[in-house]
Structure 1
């Protein structure tokens, strides 16, 4: 089947490459000519496991190409996936839908009869219905559907090719039939398929993200209680996670969540709920957000305490800049927020990350960056472990102790082997852990 994918950022590039790999003919559309040129040469705009090889294979096969012309995209196919961003509005918590609206407005004058515009962007409930009215009025016979993505950065290619579920929100059986054909290989493999009304599909995405964000903030709230009580949040998380009704995933006490999805999605959900008269039902999301932000402040406060009450004239080695391992994304990165706070309070900060240094440097140019872990920690009074890359679990703490000024580490992700580091002479500290207590 022929299709266009409008917006070639993280979601759009992955979706376009995966659809081409399934055998569809795909035209990617983006307003950035430099990005289009890079993609045409098989160079992805983001670090994502397996995406480079997949993109090269798709472009080499001729099934995937790119253009800056939205009109060309509208004429190319009858199915158009909208994958542009919906960031938080600068004047509040609501989602900024300007890019989504602009894509639909740009497509409408050129749509072929019977075209289907499929949203993948995360939007407030009611967006699909609003856009469907606009499309139907300007291009009779055309319609809108919504097909939210559930990708995890770092494993987006796998999540697209082997999804846990497919959710489509449709206004007609024809739209449902088109989407079933697009995803036929997944359906034949037994992937659960939920065909709903568009409002339900829109809510599935924000409800899922809100639940996961709530789970993270819950265990971080418990970690604060553990510190006050002299208990161990890691052991607490393991014990309650052993309950099959709760499960261990997203119960890792530490620095909290960031990135381009959870923070802005829970805020936009709360804002939209207020708009439709259901704000009280999701009022807890405000506290989820506050707990998450407080984890960053608590990490900064603990680091300052470990340095004797002040960051001034102290050296800090930072391990991690991306908001999560497996990604080069630094949007709303807790790691960079903590590193920047230490810098602004007088510390000399050196940052290492396996993939995100270029993006981190662009976002926070005042920090110092290095591709060498030892160099980042050289003469450091404190090492901060802020992004749980597997590379950091493989670091030799004895070798690293030889280059620091003072062997003390704050493991803000509770991911290092504490006993190994202590045996190597390090003083190890973590959120939610009583001093000297070790999980086993």
Structure 2
């Protein structure tokens, strides 16, 4: 699909399209090392990347990748990348979250590598491949994903004779029983930005789409309001803890049983283990509750790509490294150990690092749950072109809603209006 949405970059080149970006940007030349090997620079921040680059260089003597650590994307890394593209001195490769790729595309910051990448499409989970494919063009290799499941305090559930809920109706019923048994205990805590997005994703409640040559913004759709009303009712009935996620009060609640579940992505396992040590041996993982009994719909929260930035003089070599990083078993096993990444490549779902029993989760092999979930992640989700602003506006509204000063539906409606206004201000075509 080709769009005619046009906006102008600071470098003075007209960057085409909501999805398809014209060939403009930096004029980097191909660098070579002393041995004559092509040299590519890679910017990222995940633990384990430096070791991965060393391994690649050792096994690919005709290529050379130079790794440079930058601040995480939201903390300055993304702006550094965009500035480098505008200045014409960007690296070939960069770590970019799936939610941010459309924003980079809209700003003309990505380079099309479709002709090098297409043959490898079958190596990746469908939803992950779609996340790096915009307007029919591929802009990088999927690296990791965030399939979701239900983390639950098995000790709390067992004490009340409860099984992990298989539907959202059962989840609400369990919430009532848990709070009635102890008014200090709650089924969950408030969800924001991409954690909340995963709940919408599972329900098929898309936030963005494309119609013809224009963006559609659908946060205020009936499907989204269905999800919003469900969680609003839990909040109105005082079944949601006031402890913000990732706050010390949240970790304390996870450790002592006051917060009984986390509906979250695979990487939450490391977060919970690291921050709520008192919960060791008490927690377990089950499939994500469903809207209809018997369904197997799963949301996704997180995940990133090794993107190829505009101006890369050797996109074929860039793809070779990006694909290798995502699919080499030994290297990705290290990334699992050091960064708790979950592979986007289907052949890596059986890595030994994903097969062990975890004492924190009562000796359960939790990755088996996520391996099953990964094949059921919905493939229709599209991120918008201005997600930094969209997520900030949504968080503002959700924060008010969870605190009882507004509603989740109001937050979605307001965020949609603000997103549309900003898109039109930046020259992006929109459609109802």
Tell me whether the two structures share a fold, i.e. TM-score over 0.5.
no
What is the TM-score of this pair, normalised by structure 1? Answer: 0.30
